[in-house]
Amino acid sequence: MRSWWVWVGAPWRVLALLVLLTAAGAVSTVPRAGDWLGSWKQALSTGTGASVFIGPVAAGVACLVYARLRSSAMSEVILQSRRDLRCWLQPLLGVWGLACGALGVVSLATTTLAALAGAPAYPQYWWVVPASFGVLAAQVALGAAIGYASARAWLAPVAVVLVFLLFLWTVVGPVPAFFTTGGATASLAGQRFAPAGWTALGLAGLALAVVILAAAMLAARQHRLLVATWPRRAGVAAALVGWLAGWFVVGDADRLLATEPRPALTCAGSDPEVCLFAETPRPLDDLAAKVDRQAAALQALGVPVPARFADVGTDWAAHRGGVVVLLDEYASPTVGEDRATDTLVRPAACAADFGDEPPFAAFDARYLLGRWLQVRAGVLEPAPDAPDRAWLRSAEADAWVSATYRRLGACAFEEIRMPDGLG
């Protein structure tokens, strides 16, 4: 077992490397804790997405290890061994195992913290963590390839930067997202992890690792390691075919997720009722209280306020009632008054809101209606020179609000008319 770590160093160095890799993962997750604490799925995606930093660091270590191996006499000894490939791969497998362990620790930490913060857990999706290990294999293999082909330890920082740049290139460039393992910037509410996409990603990463190692051995003129026997040749050929197939299968990162048309809801309040996705309930009570307070002004005018405002999934056409609008506040236990306002001014899920052309008339009406709601609820005091200051407290405003709210509820945006001088 010692041979797995001999090129890394003493046991304390192995432990220090595990701590370093875990810290690298923490660097990519901790600054965004305010986003993922309210969603277990987003926390898991953030944890697996830590490969963006863990992978480059592991690649740098692998580069250093294999540069030392190549420049030592042991390189030739390994080539003469009956277990040449096994001995040659052991340092790489050791570094990869540490990287996988760090990714697992970071993912466990993020999901545990999210659960403690009140986000319902979905442990059935934990399989995405081992599915991410294939990506780490490709990253570590690239570092090992650079170190072994060059025999120059000083290229370790280059390996770190190159692996990180490859991640960026696959995200924003024409190359499929081979190195994307998560890091969602949204709550993922109403979505689930797609097994086919994650399986393809993991297998493509493993295949890419084999292809990279084969290329490194050819560059070092030590191809015997991978092509000395027919099984090894067949394995390299299969990996090459698998990686090329992955080029077309993996595609972009969107293939890692699938939508749920009718995700479960949890509700609070009664007049109106406010419902959020069951997996992101953190700000529900506060949002419901603020919606109730602002809705009182509409109810005082006799305006028909929807009985329910709810989060809308992908099946928005079947949604009946008002639409909850939250931006990045699913992780917070409280929301601003603006979120309650934005919710109230959407009394229906209208096709125009989900189409390609923005409904500018509805935007203008909702903005003015929102100011009226906040003024009447006592949470906004218009500036003395605001052009709508007097209008917001007038009977003319009450009549406009009553008519406009009904048109918004009927999705009759073409009938909306703005008050003179305020359009």
pLDDT score for 1: 44
CB 201 within 8 A of CB 221: no
Helix (H) or strand (E) holding 192: strand 191-193
C-alpha–C-alpha distance, residues 180 and 236, integer Å? 24
C-alpha–C-alpha distance, residues 293 and 132, integer Å? 46
**Main-chain dihedrals φ then ψ at residue 267, nearest 5 degrees:** -125, 160
Question: Which band of pLDDT confidence, cut at 50, 70 and 90, is reported for residue 224?
Answer: low
With a cut of 60, say whether residue 327 has pLDDT above it. yes
Mean pLDDT of 129-147: 93
Mean pLDDT of 185-196: 86
With a cut of 60, say whether residue 29 has pLDDT above it. yes
Give me the residue spans of the domains in the chain: 2-259, 265-415
Question: Which band of pLDDT confidence, cut at 50, 70 and 90, is reported for residue 356?
Answer: confident
C-alpha–C-alpha distance, residues 8 and 324, integer Å? 53
Mean pLDDT of 212-216: 82
- How big is the chain by its Cα radius of gyration, in Å? 28
Mean pLDDT of 33-50: 92
C-alpha–C-alpha distance, residues 156 and 152, integer Å? 8
C-alpha–C-alpha distance, residues 89 and 62, integer Å? 11
**Main-chain dihedrals φ then ψ at residue 15, nearest 5 degrees:** -65, -40
C-alpha–C-alpha distance, residues 13 and 201, integer Å? 31
With a cut of 70, say whether residue 208 has pLDDT above it. yes
CB 194 within 8 A of CB 257: yes
C-alpha–C-alpha distance, residues 249 and 186, integer Å? 24
Mean pLDDT of 291-297: 94
C-alpha–C-alpha distance, residues 409 and 404, integer Å? 9
Question: Which band of pLDDT confidence, cut at 50, 70 and 90, is reported for residue 72?
Answer: low
Q: Using a pLDDT cut of 90, give the percent of the chain over it.
A: 43
6 or 217, higher pLDDT: 217
pLDDT score for 107: 97
What residue has token string 């917001």? 392
C-alpha–C-alpha distance, residues 107 and 46, integer Å? 7
262 or 153, higher pLDDT: 153
pLDDT score for 264: 86
